[in-house]
């Protein structure tokens, strides 16, 4: 998707609502299914993830990195049939996905986000992703985070947290220090218990589960109105970035 098309796309959020259907993502594991909606506001990540799913790229890959109260990570192509104890996480395809940061998309529990290496553009891995478990934070902890300017060695910048985000971090939890540093491109509609079970798995010294956590991923087409009715999810218009406004 070139820059011109993206700019035009951002100017016409009503186009999204003209679309009657959406593709939900279903991640199947030995503990059950997790269902996700992908954000319209992150079109590059949404298109890339759906493309890989339809190519069955993710089938039988592992959640290879699991850290309780933080996240579960998967999508490394090297994890397929990887022997026990093998260190994973370096695999990928020969491209990256441009970062898509929006102020309303943040790392609350259950969000789907793109992993990345340490690169100045904060561009995402072509295929590795993580699901946030996180934990509940207090006001003091959030204040302490926002007072930290950055972690330059990890290319991470800490930001102030809007009150709406603070409320969620204080009640449902998440990983606030990752906001605006890693692209969040979807959120869980059901299956939080599955996430918690995987996150509780025993791991080795590299945070790889001792028991392989295999995945299969498919898409399910549903009418948007049915998604709203069944899951209570609310679609929002694409927010224009300051950069887009300056180009107009």
Q: How high is the pLDDT of residue 193?
A: 99
Q: How high is the pLDDT of residue 25?
A: 99
Q: Is the pLDDT of residue 9 over 90?
A: no
Q: Which of 23-32, 39-48, 91-100, 141-150 has the lowest mean pLDDT?
A: 141-150
User: For the chain, how far is it from start to end, CA to CA, in angstroms?
Assistant: 19
pTM of the model: 0.87
pLDDT tens sequence across 63-120: 999 999 999 999 999 999 999 999 999 999 999 999 999 999 999 999 999 999 999 9
Nearest Cα to 59, choosing from 26, 93, 24?
26
pLDDT tens sequence across 158-201: 778 999 999 999 999 999 999 999 999 999 999 999 999 999 99
pLDDT bucket at 150, cuts 50 / 70 / 90: low
Question: What is the full DSSP assignment across 139-197?
Answer: HHHHHHHHH--EEGGGTEE-----HHHHHHHHHT-B-GGGTTTS-EEEEEEE-HHHHHH
Q: Is the pLDDT of residue 221 over 90?
A: yes
CB-based contacts of 247, cutoff 8 Å, min separation 6: 7
For the record, the structure tokens of 164 come out as: 């709406």
Over range 205-209, report the average pLDDT: 98
Q: Decide: helix, strand or coil at residue 221.
A: strand
Q: What number of other Cβ atoms are within 10 A of residue 90's Cβ?
A: 9
- Which residue ranges form the domains of the chain, and what is each CATH number? 30-239 (2.40.100.10)
Q: How high is the pLDDT of residue 147?
A: 79
How far apart, in whole angstroms, are the C-alpha atoms of residue 171 and residue 32? 25
Q: Which of 32-41, 55-64, 236-245 has the lowest mean pLDDT?
A: 236-245
- Distances 201 to 13, 29, 61, 194, 223 between C-alpha atoms, Å: 41, 13, 17, 11, 35
H helix runs in 25-154, sequence order? 43-54, 139-147
CB-based contacts of 3, cutoff 8 Å, min separation 6: none
Q: How high is the pLDDT of residue 135?
A: 98
Contact predicate 53/29, CB 8 Å: no
Q: How high is the pLDDT of residue 18?
A: 55
Q: How high is the pLDDT of residue 238?
A: 53
Which phi and psi angles does 168 have, rounded to 5°? -70, -40
Q: How high is the pLDDT of residue 183?
A: 99
């Amino acid at each position: 998707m070139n820059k011109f098309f993206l700019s035009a796309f951002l100017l016409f959020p009503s186009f999204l609502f003209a679309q009657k259907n959406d593709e939900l993502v279903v991640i199947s594991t030995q503990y059950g299914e997790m269902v996700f909606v992908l954000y319209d506001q992150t079109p590059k990540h949404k298109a890339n993830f759906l493309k890989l799913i339809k190519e069955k790229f993710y089938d039988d890959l592992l959640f290879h990195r699991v850290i309780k109260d933080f996240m579960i990570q998967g999508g490394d192509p090297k994890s397929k049939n990887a022997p026990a104890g093998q260190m994973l996480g370096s695999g990928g395809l020969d491209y990256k996905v441009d970062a898509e940061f929006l102020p309303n998309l943040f790392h609350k529990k259950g969000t789907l986000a793109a992993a990345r290496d340490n690169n100045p553009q904060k561009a995402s891995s072509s295929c590795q992703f993580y699901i946030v478990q996180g934990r509940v934070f207090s006001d003091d902890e959030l204040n302490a985070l926002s007072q930290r300017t950055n972690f330059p060695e990890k290319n991470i910048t800490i930001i102030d947290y809007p009150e709406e985000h603070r409320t969620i971090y204080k009640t449902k939890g998440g990983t606030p220090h990752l906001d605006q540093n890693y692209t969040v491109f979807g959120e869980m509609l059901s299956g939080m218990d599955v996430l918690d079970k995987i996150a509780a798995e025993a791991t080795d010294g590299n945070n790889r589960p001792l028991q392989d956590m295999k995945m299969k991923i498919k898409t399910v087409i549903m009418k948007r109105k049915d998604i709203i009715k069944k899951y209570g999810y609310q679609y929002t218009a694409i927010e224009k970035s300051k950069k887009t406004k300056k180009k107009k």
